[in-house]
């Protein structure tokens, strides 16, 4: 019998603990698939973030170092500068990259660091229980914007890909979603392309992944996916934001 | 050579290939020296980072790949680095941090001060940890201790701080470096290089299981005990016949030596205990000294921080006097000798 689907070698034999409908499991797997297919398992060093995504080290069978909240891009910079031959990834959430670690991410991008940031945007602080994130949509209710986010009080959702696109150091920026098969396939291609940019030394690469958080959005997994597809993408349009050839 | 440049050259000789830092006075010559010098070193990496926070995290990234990495700053910048120092300690990664401290708190000024003693010797960041803290008193000793710092960092897989001040950083003094020095190699079975031909590794401090985290804390504690047992360093000066011992470190110890020379000329039997490691603190020599005499005079360029360690070491024995000048004021040997002599004669009167 032909085997058509198996656990990627870069993943440990551990079931994901994430909430039902959470995007992290899909993203972990996509990354592992790309790493396997490009035969990069023995070349990859991943910087794990603070937040739900930090638990990637329970699942990834790859060298991993943990970073303080927001500092992933700086840690990845230190690694990559010493070991340019490795694939260096930083896995970061929206609070991590667009709030506490804006400076580190922005300047790593501006220096054109040959690293790839996997930027998981779910519009809330997941692990701490659903507080407002820099990417929370206007009118979106969170535990710290209980009456809905307003521009006057909390400012606007930050579009990180667009912000970074004006920097000359950035080489590849794409926004994808992990809500349905077609989008998941695009996400996988975007990840592979970002890795290619890193190896081609064209500059900094980042894949922003719109990812459902049904628990903190207080939705069913299906409703959460639909909300990404119908509402979130209006603020955060999918597609290649920048690609340097 | 000025102290900052000497520290940088010493680091390079000790095998440091990575420097990350953010400009702040009075230690800028260190980063400037590295910006040129590391281009001559194979694999040399110099980054002027966007902040001190980024710099210390770049150090962490370089350290986790096994490179000898350092950063430097001055008081306000060291506060920002404390987050990363806590992670380095928790991850048991080696790193060298130079603090050319200045007058605080807040912005303070750029004059020499010893106001960061508590921060340096008590861990400094969050969590139950310690850093080894070396306190040089001359440019030569600064260079020597920077070289030692890299070995201690690797030996114990722990961040090491070299605690100087603006005076030490800016001062020009002759300095000699060892010729043909070959840095010691340490086993690096923890570093991340990509999991090639070995199981994958993870370097982390997150431990949800409280029992596991408790054991990790005790493990660190046992390491700190080993450091306390083996790495204490100090110098004594004219202590054998002394009736009063000044306890001072770094720049203030230098001023104290000047004062002691004057006092000795006048026939006052005053000696010096100079901690070179301020953590681990050399408490045994203080306890030994307390067996032969009772007058201890703590002199610091702050309002009194190391005095607490002297008090702890003495455990109620002896008498402790204090003189301090905070805020970036550099006291003179004459000024100090006058105050010491008053206490010296008062103590004689009590006998």
Domain residue limits, chain A = 24-243
How does the average pLDDT of chain B come out, rounded? 97
pTM assigned to the model: 0.97
Whether residue A232 has pLDDT greater than 90? yes
Summarised one tens digit per residue, pLDDT across range A94-134 is 999 999 999 999 999 999 999 999 999 999 999 999 999 99
Range B84-120 burial, b when 16+ CB lie within 10 A, else e: bbbbbbbbbbbbbbbbbbbbbeeebebbbbbbbbebb
How does the average pLDDT of chain A come out, rounded? 97
Which CATH number does the domain housing residue B249 bear?
3.40.50.920
**Does B226 share its domain with B240?**
no
B residues 303-322 lying closer than 8 A (beta carbon) to A: none
Neighbours of B50 (CB within 10 A): 18
What's A180's DSSP letter?
Answer: S
**Domain end: B188, B211, B230, which one?**
B230
Selecting from B18, B54, B83 the residue whose C-beta is nearest the C-beta of A82 gives B18
Alpha-carbon distance of A120 to A30, in angstroms, equals 13
Tokens 């349009």 sit at which residue?
A237
ipTM, interface predicted TM-score of the complex: 0.97
* Residue B93 Cα, gap to closest chain A Cα (Å): 11
Q: Which helix (H) or strand (E) holds B72?
A: strand B69-73
**Does B220 share its domain with B257?**
no
Domain housing B26 = 3-230
C-beta separation of B37 from B162 below 8 A? no
* Residue A190 Cα, gap to closest chain B Cα (Å): 22
* Residue A36 Cα, gap to closest chain B Cα (Å): 13
**Domain end: B230, B260, B276, which one?**
B230
**Does B217 share its domain with B274?**
no
Whether residue A1 has pLDDT greater than 90? no
**Does B206 share its domain with B239?**
no
A residues 29-48 lying closer than 8 A (beta carbon) to B: 41-45, 47-48
Query: How would CATH label the architecture of A24-243?
Result: 3-Layer(aba) Sandwich (3.40)
- Give pLDDT, residue B115: 96
Q: Do B91 and A65 touch (CB under 8 A)?
A: yes
**Does B322 share its domain with B212?**
no
Whether residue B351 has pLDDT greater than 80? no
Number of domains in chain B: 2
Alpha-carbon distance of B60 to B80, in angstroms, equals 14
**Does B213 share its domain with B243?**
no
**Does B216 share its domain with B243?**
no
* Residue B202 Cα, gap to closest chain A Cα (Å): 5
Q: Which two tokens stand for residue A108?
A: 């790593």
Q: Do B64 and A78 touch (CB under 8 A)?
A: yes
Q: Do B65 and A82 touch (CB under 8 A)?
A: yes
- Give pLDDT, residue B349: 82
Whether residue A245 has pLDDT greater than 90? no
B residues 183-242 lying closer than 8 A (beta carbon) to A: 192-197, 200-206
Summarised one tens digit per residue, pLDDT across range A27-63 is 999 999 999 999 999 999 999 999 999 999 999 999 9
**Domain end: B230, B250, B284, which one?**
B230
Alpha-carbon distance of A137 to A135, in angstroms, equals 6
Q: Do B54 and A74 touch (CB under 8 A)?
A: yes
Summarised one tens digit per residue, pLDDT across range A127-175 is 999 999 999 999 999 999 999 999 999 999 999 999 999 999 999 999 9
- Give pLDDT, residue A63: 98
3-class DSSP state for residue B272? strand
Selecting from A43, A57, A65 the residue whose C-beta is nearest the C-beta of B64 gives A65
Q: Is the Cα torsion angle A171, A177, A178, A181 positive or negative in sign?
A: negative
C-beta separation of B333 from B258 below 8 A? yes
**Does B176 share its domain with B30?**
yes
**Does B226 share its domain with B316?**
no
Summarised one tens digit per residue, pLDDT across range B182-212 is 999 999 999 999 999 999 999 999 999 999 9
């Amino acid at each position: 019998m032909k085997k058509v689907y198996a656990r990627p070698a870069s993943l440990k034999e551990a079931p994901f603990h994430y909430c039902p409908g959470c995007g992290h499991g899909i993203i972990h797997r996509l990354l592992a698939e790309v790493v396997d297919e490009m035969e990069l398992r023995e070349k990859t060093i991943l910087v794990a973030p603070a937040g739900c995504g930090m638990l990637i080290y329970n699942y990834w069978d790859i060298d991993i170092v943990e970073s303080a909240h927001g500092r992933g891009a700086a840690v990845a910079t230190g690694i990559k500068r010493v070991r340019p031959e490795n694939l260096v990834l930083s896995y970061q959430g929206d609070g991590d990259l667009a709030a506490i670690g804006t400076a580190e991410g922005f300047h790593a991008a501006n220096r054109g660091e040959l690293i790839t940031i996997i930027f998981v945007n779910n519009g809330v602080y997941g692990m701490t229980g659903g507080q407002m994130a820099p990417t929370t949509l206007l009118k979106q209710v969170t535990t710290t914007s209980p009456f809905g986010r307003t521009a006057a009080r909390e400012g606007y959702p930050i579009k990180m890909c667009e912000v970074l696109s004006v920097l000359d150091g950035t080489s590849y920026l794409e926004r994808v979603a992990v809500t349905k098969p077609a989008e998941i396939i695009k996400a996988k291609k975007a990840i592979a392309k970002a890795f290619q940019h890193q190896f081609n030394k064209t500059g900094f690469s980042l894949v922003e992944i719109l990812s459902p958080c049904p628990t903190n959005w207080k939705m069913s997994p299906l409703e959460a996916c639909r909300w990404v597809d119908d509402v979130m993408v209006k603020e955060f349009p999918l597609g290649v934001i920048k690609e340097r050839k | 050579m000025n102290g900052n440049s000497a520290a940088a050259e010493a680091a390079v000789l000790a095998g440091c290939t990575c420097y990350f830092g953010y400009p702040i006075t009075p230690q800028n010559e260190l980063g400037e020296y590295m910006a040129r010098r590391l281009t001559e070193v194979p694999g040399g990496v110099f980054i002027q980072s966007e902040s001190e926070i980024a710099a210390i995290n770049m150090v962490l990234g370089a350290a986790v790949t096994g490179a000898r990495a350092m950063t430097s700053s001055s008081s306000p910048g060291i506060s920002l680095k404390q987050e990363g120092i806590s992670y380095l300690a928790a991850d048991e990664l080696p790193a060298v941090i130079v603090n050319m401290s200045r007058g605080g708190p807040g912005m303070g000024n750029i004059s020499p001060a010893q106001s960061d003693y508590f921060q340096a010797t008590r861990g400094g960041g969050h969590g139950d940890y310690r850093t080894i803290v070396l306190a040089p008193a001359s440019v030569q000793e600064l260079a020597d201790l920077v070289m030692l710092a890299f070995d201690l960092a690797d030996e114990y897989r722990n961040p090491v701080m070299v605690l100087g001040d603006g005076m030490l950083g800016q001062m020009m003094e002759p300095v000699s470096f060892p010729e043909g020095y070959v840095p010691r190699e340490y086993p690096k079975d923890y570093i991340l290089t990509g999991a090639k031909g070995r199981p994958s590794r993870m370097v982390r401090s997150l431990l949800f299981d409280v029992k596991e985290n408790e054991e990790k804390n005790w493990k660190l504690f046992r390491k700190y005990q080993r450091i306390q047992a083996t790495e204490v360093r100090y110098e004594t000066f004219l202590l054998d016949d002394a009736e009063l011992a000044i306890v001072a470190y770094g720049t203030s110890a230098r001023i104290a030596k000047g004062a002691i020379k004057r006092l000795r000329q006048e026939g006052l039997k005053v000696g010096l205990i100079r901690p070179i490691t301020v953590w681990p603190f050399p408490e045994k020599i203080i306890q030994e000294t307390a067996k032969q005499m009772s007058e201890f005079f703590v002199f610091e360029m702050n309002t009194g921080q190391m005095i607490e360690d002297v008090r702890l070491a003495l455990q109620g024995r002896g008498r402790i006097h204090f003189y301090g000048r905070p805020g970036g004021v550099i006291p003179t040997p004459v000024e100090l000798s006058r105050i010491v002599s008053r206490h010296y004669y008062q103590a004689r009167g009590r006998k």
